[in-house]
Structure 1
Amino acid sequence: MDDDSTRDHVVPGSDETLETADIRGHDFRGETTLSDLLATYETTGFQATHLAEAIDITKRMQDEDATIYLTLTSNIISSGLREVIAALVRDGHVDVIITTSGSLTEDVIKTAKPFKLGEWDADEAALRERGINRLGNIFVPSDRYVWLEEYLYDFFDEFFAEEKVRTPTAFARELGETLDDEDSVLKQAADNDVPIYCPALTDAEVGNFLYYYSRGQDADVGIEILDDYTSLIEDGMLAEKTGLIAVGAGVPKHHAIMTNLFRGGAEYAVYISTGMEGDGSLSGAPPNEAVSWGKVKDDTETNFTQVEAEATLVLPLLVAEAFY
């Protein structure tokens, strides 16, 4: 076999001219602003390009006055992203929040007692002996939960005084009204009339303390979730356009896309996720899969994207460029 024939396999060549943008990143000549840097993400490739798409889609949500749903898992509140979420609510950038019970738990704790920076590689048994709980490289001393139980027991007395069966949205709103911390997501939501939906309210310490409260104080108290689900569906159908920003996945993400199914799908969707698509779970499902279900609309112009990245790295960049 001669060299020419092998070269055809190694370097086959191409007659096609691609009309797409050249791959090019930021060159750092002259002064650089955050906006300058993020503008070059569009042509950087890989997840940077997806983040640039997410910024563009999020801006379009606002330009078209879409009702913006923000969904998040509790680890977002565990981290310093709590302050980012509180700012979005405080400044009127989101209309609906859907989250997990841990978000409510940890938001309340942080109004009185901070979480502390720890390390990933820790002696777990020694931490247990010291009364320290580990969330990645964040440490949470157990005294936080002792304080929380006392705080919630006082709150439960008032919350269930006149109505024995309440909804998670009422729980979040009235709990937020008791807080005095400007960085609290619950307080900002209560102050700015942003509903917080928590379909799995019992799936954290709130659930544990509700259990003990019902057993020891009042067996008639309860949490009703269907009213909230109905409100999500019916309010969504009244919206002219909707946009979803899903930070993490699980129940909050699915509640947002499922309730938007009733209105024919959301017009815009931005996912920030580390979920793996290969296992077929909802957590790893990209937004184009939601199109097949009718939960997100398909448009001729890009109206959905997924940034495969850990949220603390990219959410502040998205918020800074798309909202501020």
Structure 2
Amino acid sequence: MDPSDSRDHVVPGTDEELDGADVRGYDFRGDVDLTALLESYATTGFQATHLADAIDIADRMRADDATIYLTLTSNVISSGLREVVAALVREGYVDVLITTAGSITEDVIKTAKPFKMGRWTADEAALRERGINRLGNIFVPSDRYVWLEEYLYDFFDDFFAEDAIRTPSEFARELGETLDDEDSVLKQAAEHDVPIYCPALTDAEVGNFLYYYRQRPDTADVGIEIVEDYDSLISDGMLRDTTGLIAVGAGVPKHHAIMTNLFRGGADYAIYIQTGMEGDGSLSGAPPNEAVSWGKIKATDETNYTEINAEATLVFPLLVAGAFFAD
């Protein structure tokens, strides 16, 4: 074979002109403009373009006066994203929060005792000896949980004083009313009448301390009832003209939001920020188009959902800045 004959295989060429925008990134000449930088993500490609799509979808949520559900896993509150979530609630940009028990316990702890920056490569056995717990590159001394136990026991006495059976949303609201920290998500939610749903309330220190609290003879009948909250989520959602979901992380909070929106025919908008892999068939890795197949997100002619495959601390503040605070 003549080597020149291979050229059509290597460089086949095309006569087709594509209609898409030119791939182009931000031009750093002159002063840096955050809004222009985020707008340039639309033509940057890869996950940057998904972030630009997310900002656009969040803008449309706000323009349509959608009821916005924010779902988050506890590592969001472990990190500096706690202050970002508190700001969204404080400024009235979020209508419903769905989260995990770890978010609640860590939000309370941070009102009195901060978490500390650590490192990923710490000696785990040495940390255990020192009474330090590691969350990635964040360190949490065990004395935080000793303090939390005392705080919650005092709270439980008041919380269960009149009714032995309460709901997770009541727990979150009344606990938030006891806190004095403007960066507390629970406090901001209580002050701005934003319900916090936590369907797995026992899956953290709250559950541990409730277990010990119930060992007392006079508290053996107290408990947490979750179905009433589920009923409220479904009933309230069906009354909303338009809903939008922002799921930071996945698991139970994300699924609770899309599942309860199923009862109203699906959410109108959805933004996922997650790192789970789709290939294992788990909910945590499931993309939004899978939720469309279940009726949990509406199918529309215009793209109404996107997924950003990225770690939340990198992109969630940019989404919030671009869609909520750049006006």
Which TM-score tier does this pair reach, normalised by the shorter chain? over 0.9
The equivalences for 1:102-181 within 5 A come to: 102-181=102-181
CA distance in 2, matches of 1:292, 1:13: 38
CA distance in 1, matches of 2:198, 2:106: 14
The equivalences for 1:1-324 within 5 A come to: 1-216=1-216, 217-324=218-325
- Give, in angstroms, the shift of residue 301 of structure 1: 1.4
TM-score normalised per structure 2: 0.98
Corresponding letter in the other structure for 1:100:
T
1:215 aligned counterpart, secondary structure:
coil
Corresponding letter in the other structure for 1:164:
A
Greater mean deviation of Cα atoms: 203-212 or 294-303 = 294-303
Moved over 4 A (4+): none
- Give, in angstroms, the shift of residue 229 of structure 1: 0.3
Greater mean deviation of Cα atoms: 213-222 or 130-139 = 213-222
Residue by residue over 1:279-311, the C-alpha shift from the partner in whole angstroms, topping out at 9 and shown as x without a partner, is 110000010110000000122111100000000
Corresponding letter in the other structure for 1:215:
Q
- Give, in angstroms, the shift of residue 30 of structure 1: 2.0
Greater mean deviation of Cα atoms: 166-175 or 217-226 = 217-226
CA distance in 1, matches of 2:50, 2:196: 28
1:282 aligned counterpart, secondary structure:
coil
Corresponding letter in the other structure for 1:112:
A
Residue by residue over 1:91-145, the C-alpha shift from the partner in whole angstroms, topping out at 9 and shown as x without a partner, is 0000000000000000000000000000000000000000000000000000000
- Give, in angstroms, the shift of residue 55 of structure 1: 0.3
CA distance in 2, matches of 1:273, 1:247: 7
CA distance in 2, matches of 1:94, 1:204: 25
CA distance in 1, matches of 2:122, 2:190: 38
CA distance in 1, matches of 2:51, 2:290: 19
- What's the C-alpha RMSD, in Å, of the aligned pairs? 0.7
CA distance in 1, matches of 2:5, 2:93: 61
1:140 aligned counterpart, secondary structure:
strand
Residue by residue over 1:38-86, the C-alpha shift from the partner in whole angstroms, topping out at 9 and shown as x without a partner, is 1100000000000000000001100100000000000000000000000
2:215 aligned counterpart, secondary structure:
helix
TM-score normalised per structure 1: 0.99
Residue by residue over 1:152-205, the C-alpha shift from the partner in whole angstroms, topping out at 9 and shown as x without a partner, is 000000000000000000000000000000000000000000000000000000
Corresponding letter in the other structure for 1:188:
Q
2:47 aligned counterpart, secondary structure:
helix
CA distance in 2, matches of 1:29, 1:119: 36
- Give, in angstroms, the shift of residue 13 of structure 1: 1.5
CA distance in 2, matches of 1:283, 1:319: 22
- Give, in angstroms, the shift of residue 5 of structure 1: 2.6
Residue by residue over 1:227-253, the C-alpha shift from the partner in whole angstroms, topping out at 9 and shown as x without a partner, is 000000010000000000000000000
Number of aligned residue pairs? 324
Corresponding letter in the other structure for 2:277:
M
Corresponding letter in the other structure for 1:148:
L
CA distance in 2, matches of 1:215, 1:102: 22
- Give, in angstroms, the shift of residue 261 of structure 1: 0.4
- Give, in angstroms, the shift of residue 11 of structure 1: 1.2
Corresponding letter in the other structure for 1:223:
I
Residue by residue over 1:10-37, the C-alpha shift from the partner in whole angstroms, topping out at 9 and shown as x without a partner, is 1111222110111010121222210011
Greater mean deviation of Cα atoms: 6-15 or 143-152 = 6-15
Unaligned regions of 5+ residues in structure 2, if any? none
- Give, in angstroms, the shift of residue 321 of structure 1: 1.0
2:53 aligned counterpart, secondary structure:
helix
Percent identity reads 79
CA distance in 2, matches of 1:262, 1:269: 16
